[in-house]
Chains A and B, each alone.
Chain A
Amino acid sequence: MPGEKLRLRVLTPGHRACQGCGQALGVRLALERVEVPFIVANATGCLEVFSTAYPYSSWAVPWIHSLFENTAAVASGISAALRALGRGEVRVIALGGDGGTADIGLQALSGMFERGDDVLYICYDNEAYMNTGVQRSGLTPPYARTTTSPAGRVRLGNVRPKKDMLSIAVAHGVGYAATASIGYPKDLERKVQKAMGRRGPRYLHIHAPCPLGWGFEPEKTVEIAQLAVQTGLFPLVEIEDGVVTGVRKLPKRLPVEEYLKHQSRFAHLFTSEEGRKAIAEIQAIADANVARYGL
């Protein structure tokens, strides 16, 4: 943007992300404003795959990928080594997808939180295992269709609610835990700044729509992300030392259909009576979010 301070390059262009990838945008929004030196530990997933096909790397910062489920532990090791080296000025940021964070990597993440390790862990939530072809994760929303929770004649897609990662982080006593969305870049950047202003374990959960996996046109990524927030389905919340300190209010809240109708993963809900009931249930989830956080 004209007049803006030149941004530190983190994820340089030329990588292989799909058009409209919410995650690629999310990385840039999250990391480009971080002015202190840092090291990135990245879980297996789309981000790792699209940014580092040998011999090309898009990363202009020191970056390591080890495995799918151990990113929080690798980050802990980096942080311990930096302590040993007396390089406290260098920070550690871990990046993982929803599957790598909430499912297979949850144990390592819990260990990292509990030990109080000095790491900002960022989860990119695109609500499924995208890298392996859109399978259901513990963060896939109810009634979304994925390849392992298909919508069929007797089932309407995924049956379970999203795992509440924010509460899980807070229950570990994490000093700073927040949700953000690529649809609200200023809010996202501000939260990263705030998180980087503290030490110890911190958790940032970023909603990052996926055009391919969710079934919408690539130019709609930001709009879809905003609709998730505006319907109350993805509340933007900030929790510091266990206390809710920031909530994005929704004075003009939209009905959940406004969000669901753009995405083919929910298309089956609009063609049957059962689908209508499912939409009512999804609306109830949004209403509960509003009540819970006072949106």
Chain B
Amino acid sequence: MWTVLEGSVAIAEAVRRCRPRVISAYPITPQTHIVEHLARLAADGELDAEVVNVESEHSAASVVLGAVATGVRAYTATSSQGLLLMAEVLYNIAGLRLPVVLTCANRAVSSPINIWNDHQDAMAVRDSGWIQLFAEDNQEAVDLHIQAYRIAELTRLPVMVNVDGFVLTHAYEPVDLPDQEEVDAFLPPFEPKVRLDPDHPLTLGMLAEPHVYMEARYALNEAVLGSKEVILQVQREFQERFGRSSGGLISVDAPEDAEIVFVAMGSVLGTIREAAESLRHRGIRAGVLKVTCFRPFPGEAIASALRGTPRFIVLEKALSMGSGGILANEMRAAFYERDRRAEIISVIAGLGGRDVTVAQIEEVAQAVLQGERGPVFLGLDQRLLAREGTS
């Protein structure tokens, strides 16, 4: 059914159709509207879920941990400081192999405090063992949530669906919301093999000493790597049932002989697509490589795409302090491991909600074609830096 909805409401409606039985969250902008909508549905008897209003994100994550361990589907959502406060629990959920689904309405991280969008929050927990998917628009946000439960339950891994705060969560867009029956047919009831049950007592969360810990971590890594197949399979199943392609690992929109390709995640891809089209009109063979799944990292898929392209501009909304662009560096590693040579130019953009414009992206492309090697910090205010200094 096509409707114009706020992103948060669309996400909440998608989550509702996945029938979570326990929902727990803590208020933080820009995530809040999602759980507010779910709470309203539960209050009206339109959603049969326990809503647990906790005193912190640490407890929100812990509540869904306990709920999924007891054998029910659960949901939580957060942003920024909330995700960082959850970090300890996120690692724990992944290690326990609990298929929790979490929405991260991506937001910058303090200090300085800033409620606007970037991807620093999600990047901070990238090594935790969670599958991390990024939505480009609200339709994809809807679709990824429905896929997330299926992927999580098939892999016994938690899935974080990343949705750009404000840019998507607060934007009104037409979305095609699947009917409940369609979602039910796509997502069977949750039937975990491992659960806390007095009829079959199990010990979960044991102490692992040095002679076994490494194997446990190795196994988790293998599971996360192996989830790529499941993510692709779920993408196919989704397309068959709902007739549209969303999810998966990456998607490429570029001419065969592209001379310059932008790589990015999330809503900024909309702006990038426009810039690429405009460049093509001006005779520059530009393309776009979208990374939908950041964890597991689709290194093979990225490195084997667009084999003839000599240069990639990786535009990302996060930064590893003291190192550089995270996606750019992972891409370089993926290329190096496969003996592929290409220029990978790192562009850090849009931190803390700074606008990224079509004109800026075109300018960067022109500069790169003239030899710019980066890293580029898009749209830095040099006067402000000169006034305040950098050290």
Contact = CB atoms under 8 A, between A and B. Distances in A.
Interface of A: 37-39, 41, 48-49, 52-55, 57, 59-67, 69-70, 72-85, 90, 107-108, 110-111, 114-115, 117
22 contacts: A39-B198, A52-B207, A53-B207, A53-B209, A54-B206, A59-B203, A62-B198, A70-B65, A70-B89, A74-B69, A76-B52, A76-B54, A76-B63, A76-B66, A77-B70, A80-B50, A82-B70, A84-B67, A85-B70, A108-B58, A110-B55, A111-B59
A39 B53 CA distance: 22
Contacts of B67: 77-78, 80-81, 84
A64 B54 contact: no
Contact of B62 (A59, A61, A73, A81): A73
B220 interface: no
A69 B59 CA distance: 9
Contacts of B64: 77
A76 B64 CA distance: 9
Nearest to A60: B201
A81 B21 contact: yes
Given A61-B198, A107-B56, A77 B206 contact: no
Contacts of A81: 21-22, 50, 66-72, 74
Given A54-B208, A66-B62, A78 B92 contact: no
B89 A64 contact: no
Q: How many of chain B's residues touch chain A, expressed as a range?
A: 35 or more
Contacts of A78: 66-67, 69-70, 196
Is the contact region of chain B dominated by helix, strand, or loop, or is it mixed? mixed
Given A115-B52, A117-B52, 16 more contacts: A37-B199, A41-B66, A53-B207, A54-B208, A57-B206, A64-B66, A65-B206, A70-B59, A74-B69, A76-B63, A77-B63, A80-B24, A81-B68, A81-B72, A82-B70, A108-B55
B54 A85 contact: no
B65 A77 contact: yes
Contacts of B74: 77, 81
B345 to A, nearest CB: 41
B49 interface: yes
Given A54-B212, A62-B197, A73 B59 contact: yes
A70 B198 contact: no
A80 B53 CA distance: 11
Contacts of A70: 58-59, 61-62, 65, 89
Interface of B: 21-22, 24, 48-50, 52-56, 58-72, 74, 88-89, 92, 96, 196-209, 212
A69 B86 CA distance: 12
Task: Please provide the 5 A-B residue pairs with the shortest distance between their CB atoms, ordered closest to farther.
Answer: A77-B66, A37-B198, A73-B62, A81-B70, A65-B205
A39 B197 CA distance: 7
Contact of B89 (A59, A61, A67, A114): A67
A61 B70 CA distance: 13
Contacts of A66: 62, 65-66, 89, 92, 96, 205
A84 B72 contact: yes
Contacts of B55: 107-108, 110-111, 114
A18 B70 CA distance: 32
B224 to A, nearest CB: 20
Contacts of A77: 22, 24, 52, 62-70, 74
A53 to B, nearest CB: 5
Contacts of A84: 21-22, 48-50, 67, 72
A192 B70 CA distance: 24
A201 to B, nearest CB: 13
Contacts of A114: 55
Contacts of B52: 76-77, 80, 115, 117
A43 B54 CA distance: 18
Contacts of B48: 84
Contacts of A83: 50
A90 B66 CA distance: 14
Contacts of B53: 115
Contacts of A110: 55
Contacts of A41: 66
Contacts of B22: 77, 80-81, 84
B18 to A, nearest CB: 14
A63 B58 contact: no
Contacts of B21: 81, 84-85
Contacts of B50: 80-81, 83-84
A75 B92 CA distance: 15
A65 B63 contact: no
B274 to A, nearest CB: 44
Contacts of B207: 48-49, 52-54
Nearest to A90: B198
A211 B345 CA distance: 62
Nearest to A63: B203
A277 to B, nearest CB: 41
B50 to A, nearest CB: 4
